[in-house]
Amino acid sequence: MPCRGKLAAALALVACCASPAHAQAPDDPLFAYQWHLRAIQIPAAWEVSRGAGVTVAVLDTGVAYENRRSYRRAPELAATRLVSGYDFVDGDAHPNDVPPRGGRRSHGTQMASIIAATAGNALGGAGVAPEAAIMPVRVLEPDLSGSARSIARGLRFAADHGADVASLSIAGRSPSRQLKSAVTYATSRGVVVVAATGNDGLDSVSWPAAYPEVIAVGAVARDRTRAPYSNYGAGLDIVAPGGAGVGGDTGYGPPDGVVSQTLKGGPGKFCFCFTASTSAAAAQVSGVAALLVGARPARSSAEIRAALLSSARDLGARGPDREYGAGLVQAAGALADGRPPAAAPAPARPRRPAESSSDGWWPAVAAGAGGLVLLGAGVALRRRRRRAT
């Protein structure tokens, strides 16, 4: 059940900063606190597209998508269309999200909620593309460990089963031949692949975001400056709201982050929790890509990419730069581009180490003033990561 008491206390910390709701805002009670939706022009974009007919594959820890045994479907996804996915961790057709032990929050359900939570149901908030379908593809363990092999298999599955967009809020330190091949395969089949740059605060984009075919997404705070944890550099394509992760962790995340529903404490226990991370930023860009595909289904993945970058709001130094890439994603601006520019070639990326498959992969979670604001301590996460195969 929703964690209403503590959530109300957390929201009080940001109530003074919440901007007025759009005139056409849905009746979702947390919509007023979803500052990220207004920052990327979602209310205006909904006048053109809500993502109907589009499938977004969420490659993550799974999604709370079905009522089966101890599992429960997330209330915020009750009216969201879900299509069949696969569990590449347990090897079955039930990619349900399993929250980690210790009352911590799950990752995959939160990303799916950011992308396509039901709008206008008088519950929680709204997703970026509320009429898009979610394809749950489980490639990570509850403790966030995973392998390049599983992620690559998940991406190929998504491409073969009708995904239009693949959202990967996952970051690894080293490239992988298997994953590179899967990215090339997916994009060749028209899938828009979006990934987080990582949350180490380094001048280096993590993998798979560093592959030229992937839209690499960093995070900005509410004041539109680069979030201190967000990786940046020559491989960064675009940024989206994440929050700075400051103001203390309420137990439900930092209140300056992005709020959405996820599991917390058990397979049938839900909360409206905050996350400040490039994971959240990548999920939003995945949602905007779904809006674009829904509005113009004939667009190629290269044209979707070009529309996103050409319409971004310039931040920082004039023109594309290492801190913000092309700038802040702008959904309405991208949709207003009736004749998309010719597909731009992928930007040159810096030379990276020879590809291998020996490093770990984990969700792009971030650290804040109260410690890691999403799922465990970063140091512990790195100690426990599994070696990719």
Q: Is residue 191 part of a domain?
A: yes
Q: Is residue 170 part of a domain?
A: yes
Q: Is residue 389 part of a domain?
A: no
One-letter amino acid at 112 equals A
Q: Is residue 346 part of a domain?
A: no
Q: Which of 279, 286, 301, 311 is catalytic?
A: 279
> What local confidence, expressed as pLDDT, does residue 24 receive?
61
Angle in degrees, CA 189, 190, 192, rounded to 5: 125
**Cα gap 14→114, rounded to integer Å:** 19
Angle in degrees, CA 26, 32, 33, rounded to 5: 130
Give me the number of domains the chain comprises. 1
Q: Is residue 20 part of a domain?
A: no
Q: Which of 60, 164, 200, 249 is catalytic?
A: 60
Encode burial over 172-209: b for 16+ CB neighbours within 10 A, e otherwise.
Answer: bbbbbebbbebbeebbeeebbbbbbbbbbeeebbbbbb
Measured over the CA atoms of residue 301, residue 307, residue 312 and residue 316, the dihedral's sign is positive
CATH code assigned at 357: 3.40.50.200
Q: Which of 28, 49, 87, 107 is catalytic?
A: 107
In terms of residue numbers, what domain contains 192?
4-15+25-339+353-384
Reply yes or no on whether 107 is catalytic: yes
Reply yes or no on whether 286 is catalytic: no
**Cα gap 96→99, rounded to integer Å:** 10
Reply yes or no on whether 204 is catalytic: no
pLDDT along the chain (389 residues), means of 10: 42 36 73 97 97 98 94 96 97 93 90 97 97 98 90 98 98 94 98 97 97 98 97 97 87 92 91 96 98 94 96 96 98 79 42 36 44 23 29
Residue 263 β-bridge partners: 270
Q: Is residue 87 part of a domain?
A: yes
**Cα gap 189→165, rounded to integer Å:** 11
- Those residues whose C-beta lies under 8 Å from the C-beta of residue 382, and which sit 6 or more positions away, are 360, 362
Q: Is residue 9 part of a domain?
A: yes
Q: Is residue 347 part of a domain?
A: no
Residue 183: which of 205, 215, 161 has the closest Cα?
215
> What local confidence, expressed as pLDDT, does residue 99 receive?
83
- Those residues whose C-beta lies under 8 Å from the C-beta of residue 118, and which sit 6 or more positions away, are 76, 77, 78, 79, 80, 126, 127, 130
What number of H helices and E strands is found in the chain? Answer: 10, 13
Structural tokens at position 305: 């990419």
> What local confidence, expressed as pLDDT, does residue 15 receive?
34
